[in-house]
Amino acid sequence: MNSRRNFLQKMAGSALALPVLSSITTKAHAAKPQPPYQGPVLRVAILGLGSYGERVAEAMKDCQRAKLVGLVSGTPAKLKTWQAKYGIAEKNCYNYETLDQIKNNPDIDAVYVITPNGLHKDFSVRVAKAGKHVICEKPMANDAKEAQQMVDACKAAKVKLLIGYRMHFEPITLDIVHKRKAGDFGKVLFFQGLSGFIIGDPTQWRLNKKLAGGGAMMDIGIYSINGSRYMIGEDPIWVTAQEVKTNPEKFKEGVDETITFQLGFPGGAVASCLSTYSLNNLDRFFLDGDKGYAEMGPSTGYGPIKGRTNKGEVTYPHVTHQTVQMDEMSDIILKGKQPEIPVDGEEGLKDMKIVDAIFQAVKTGGKVAIKY
- For the annotated catalytic residues, the residue numbers are 138, 223
In this structure, is the dihedral angle defined by the CA atoms of residues 106, 110, 116 and 118, taken in order, positive or negative? positive
DSSP state letters, 73-128: -S-HHHHHHHHHHHT--GGGEE-TTTGGGGGG-TT--EEEE-S-HHHHHHHHHHHH
| Residue 200 CB neighbour total at 10 angstroms | 15
Amino acid found at 209: K
Instruction: Give the span between the Cα atoms of 270 and 295, in whole angstroms.
Output: 16
Give the list of residues 6+ apart from residue 39 with CB closer than 8 angstroms, or none. 65, 334, 335
The pairing of strands 270-276 and 188-196 is parallel
For residue 303, give every residue at least 6 positions away whose Cβ sits within 8 Å of its Cβ, in sequence order, or none. Answer: 12, 13, 15, 170, 318, 320, 321
What whole-number distance in Å separates Cα of residue 117 and Cα of residue 114? 8
Q: Which residues pair with 72 in a beta bridge?
A: 47, 94
Q: Is the dihedral of CA 363, 271, 315, 65 positive or negative?
A: negative
Beta bridge mates, 262: 240, 272
Q: Which amino acid is at 28?
A: A
CA distance 142 to 119: 9
DSSP H/E element including 162: strand 161-163
Closest CA to 72 of 91, 51, 47, 97: 47
